[in-house]
Structure 1
Amino acid sequence: MKKRIWIINQYASTPDVGFGGRHYYLAQELNELGHSVSVIASGCHHLLRTPVKFKGNTKKELVGRVEYVWMKTVKYVKAHSLLRVFGWFQFSQKISKADKLLGDKPDYIIYSSPSLIGYIGARELAKRTGAKLVFEVRDLWPLTLVSLGKASKNHPLVLLLSHLERSAYQHSDLVVSNLKYAVDYMIDKGLDPKKFKWIPNGFSKYEVESQKESLSESVVEELPNDKFIVGYTGTLGFANNLGELIKVAKLFEKDAELHFVLVGGGQEEESLKRLTDSLKLDNVTFIKPIPKRQIQSILEKFDLLYIGLPKDDLFKFGVSPNKLFDYLYAGKPILYAVDSGRYNPIHESKAGISIEPSNQMALYNAILKLKSMSPAERMEMGQNGRNLAETDYEYSQLARMYSDLMR
């Protein structure tokens, strides 16, 4: 039976104004399965490349066949701004009355974190409309704020978020997470494990195949020729452990065949460039962010793909970085410097080498090992990764998993 579904994610976007992402693809695919889907999001947040233009306090538009409802909230630039926190409460208040704006009633409301404040409004909305409430956890807040953000467990905001977290686990009809073993953490917070379902992030094969773009000439000119390239694409941030990669590049400075290429931007960009300069490296190249449609084109130029995270107990419940699925589909061996507990898709699928994070010698030896392999051996690893991507992480399949939950 087809359902009316509202997906609420304050930080949702489309490819035109942001980066698309999980709910853009899931909404389109759920619609293809016959469901009627609306996405409710803020039109003003730090993850949008182009803020939504408003004439009033809301804006409706059709994106593909999916209705997007944008809520006007306070503008801010930096992710750590206090205005962002104010925007959580503002968005929560606005979505609590979303039924008056949409003019109908949903069968299911999917409220997606990380912001827990909006859960208050989503729960009120679900109660008034009689909808079943799905709480989707994409980041374990407030644990992440304490573990990585170094916030105090006793901070008033952290205490409030902890209370909301427990309430959400206990009172939602279903709980979904892109972190495979988050259920282990949630049970201790009062979740009935029967309500839990793992639905990871993924990739859109249709988009990759039909909308792929060639690299611009300027980008091609920045790439080194006739080198074995260790590549990275994505945010240049602290959480991606790129400083370790650059320090290991120092160990390869006399290897004329090997080069490191980092594609992207972020808060750590300048500090990473300063580190490169201080180490006097000429085997590291930084390339500015490129359009998503060109990601596969640049991954084709690389011989080895790097993904890393700091060592932290937070990740033992699993990870689901979007770049992982782009990497898998690219069909290149992956160097997985992540301790993600029992969830290790690279090791399990033999799609590359998994190593301990923040271990420079392990990273050095892994690069050396992959470089010394025959092209056929690396190609086999890459094909294993692509097979895994197509089997387990394509958004049309993930949407069917969601659809089966909402029967």
Structure 2
Amino acid sequence: MRLLFLTDSFRPSRSACANRACVLVDAMRNVGINVQVLASSDSLLGAPESYKKPDYVTFFETFPLQEKTLVNRLKNNFGGQRASVKAAEGMGVFDVVVCTTPPLLLTTSAIKIAKRKGAKLVLDVRDVWPDVGYEMGSFSPSSPYGRFFSHIAKRGFKVADMVSTVSAGKAEKLRERVPAGTPVELVPNGIDEAFVKNEEDLAVVERFELEHGPICCYVGNIGLAQGLGTLLDIASVRSDVRFLLFGAGADKKALEQRAKVEGLSNVEFCGSVDARGVYTVLRYSALSYVPLVSSRLRDSIPTKLYECVACGCPVLLAAQGDSVDLLEETGLGAHAAPENHEGLLCAFDELVARGFSVEERAIAAQGMLVAHSRQKVAREFAETLLGIFGQGR
């Protein structure tokens, strides 16, 4: 089988999309599928000088998405749509095209490429658009954005030969939208086994004084969609706890300004750290904050939830739905709805007072690795592709 994996993000990027894509591609290659990756040039932003592109990876050029404004996103998405189709023309024949989204506009590229190559089309849906836009309150179904994204999504589901997605709630939603007979495969994100093989970085411990706690950490994008103002609300009334925020994003400056104005000396914005640094921070923290901005995002499971528990770090989860089910399975955290600020403060106090023994943390971490290995799920998905679409031409 010769397979084209079309993605917005791949190595050397360390985005959640790139991490998922790399594990899926590795699994496909390991079962004998001839995979060619076609990824956006955004993957190369901030790449180390030592990076060497694998022979099976091709990058299509598009407008660099360094600042995530609406205009830049449109330039990036529409430019990438055209460039990816053009790049695929010189890559030969394929039996299957797998496209992972968002961005949803990449679906239109995949449809065109699959049709020209006479290939089967698999849509890997990490977020169901336009639903996410509605659930976050970004736009309504009747708006131009709603109608545009809805049209693209319906077109993709109509022609797809298979759809895969990352949570049970998303799978249930998608089964109502694809034609009868189109398989919908559950391929959860899970925990990347390579992540928990990291060793603690003593330089990170020293730099951020991680031995001086208790520490509540947040690691990830500091954007409008994370609702981190709630975490600062908690910090303002719990001065005996250190709040360390790692990452960057559109909301970082506003949050820094708020912390400065309110004199929140226990809140520190620590910049970005690599995977080993993230592992170290989670290992030393008393708890980690994992938020979704709205209770309406019931079928979303943040990747960082898997990572926190796999490091034995208790989680304060601001969410409802599938992610709550996962956290309760592990027994290593507490939760409340994102809109329930009083409930989140109570859950925070519960975790700080409760504490977890080294043994309890280790049991939860091992349980996460056994039950939710990303590599295991990826291998099963690769074997499913072979089983449904055969060995190729």
Confirm or deny a common fold (TM above 0.5): yes
Q: Which residue of 2 aligns with 1:24?
A: 22
Map of 2:172 onto structure 1 = 184
Q: 1:270 to 1:230 in 2, by over 3 A?
A: same
Alignment check: 8 A CA contact 2:60 2:87 kept: no
User: Partner amino acid for 2:10?
Assistant: S
Give the secondary structure class of the aligned counterpart of 1:96: helix
Q: CA-to-partner distance for each residue in 1:113-165, whole Å, 9 max, x for gaps?
A: 11232222212222232321101111121222333262343343432321121
Equivalent AA in structure 2 for residue 356 of structure 1 = A
Calculate the aligned-residue CA RMSD, in Å: 2.7
- TM norm structure 1: 0.85
Does the CA-based 8 Å contact 1:41-1:69 persist in structure 2? yes
C-alpha distance in structure 1 between counterparts of 2:2 and 2:200, whole Å: 35
What are the superposed Cα offsets for residues 312-332 of structure 1, whole Å, 9 maximum, x if unpaired? 42x12x213221222121012
Shift of 1:275: 2.0
SS in 1 for 2:194: helix
Q: 2:100 aligns with which of 109, 112, 125?
A: 112
1:61-98 deviation digits (Å, cap 9, x = unpaired)? 743xx611101123343223424324333333333355
The question of 1:216 aligning with 2:203 is answered: yes
Aligned 8 A contact 2:38 2:88 in 1: no
Q: Does 1:67 align with 2:48?
A: no
> Distance between the aligned counterparts of 1:141 and 1:163, measured in 2?
10
1:283 corresponds in structure 2 to 266
Amino acid at match of 2:277: Q
CA distance in 1, matches of 2:176, 2:347: 37
Note closer, same or farther for the CA distance 1:75–1:262 as it changes in structure 2 (3 Å cut): closer
Do the aligned residues in 1 keep the contact of 2:160 with 2:182 (CA within 8 Å)?
Answer: no
Instruction: State the Cα distance separating 1:287 from its structure 2 match.
Output: 0.9
Q: Distance in 2 between matches of 1:388 and 1:191?
A: 37
Superposed counterparts of 1:173-322, under 5 Å? 173-192=161-180, 195-209=183-197, 212=199, 214-216=201-203, 220-223=206-209, 225-253=211-239, 255=240, 258-313=241-296, 315-316=297-298, 318-322=299-303
Offset, 1:384: 4.4
1:172 and 1:248 map into 2 onto residues whose CA distance is 45
In the alignment, residue 38 of structure 2 is paired with which amino acid? I
Q: Aligned residues, how many? A: 383
% same residue: 23
Question: Alpha-carbon deviations, 1:321-351, whole Å to 9, x = none?
Answer: 2212221210122121211358620012212
Contact 1:29 1:395 in 2 (8 A): no
Taking the aligned partners of 1:373 and 1:147, their CA distance within structure 2 comes to 33
The counterpart of 1:90, out of the listed 64, 79, 85, is 79
1:18–1:48 contact (8 Å) kept in structure 2: no
Instruction: Show structure 2 runs of 5+ residues with no match.
Output: 388-393
8 Å CA contact retained: 2:10, 2:39: yes
1:80 aligned onto 2:89: no
| C-alpha spacing 1:195/1:244, structure 2 compared with 1 (3 Å) | same
Q: Would the aligned equivalents of 2:161 and 2:182 in 1 still touch at CA under 8 Å? A: no
- Contact in 2 for aligned 1:309/1:337 (Cα 8 Å): yes
Which aligned segments of 4 or more residues in structure 1 are displaced greater than 4 angstroms? 16-19
Letter in 2 for 1:216: A
Q: Which residue is 2:45 aligned to? A: 49
Partner of 2:134: 146
Aligned residue type for 1:151: F
Do the aligned partners of 1:212 and 1:294 also contact (CA within 8 Å) in 2?
Answer: no
1:57 aligned partner: none
2:311 equivalent among 325, 330, 336 = 330
From 363, 370, 394, the counterpart of 2:373 = 394
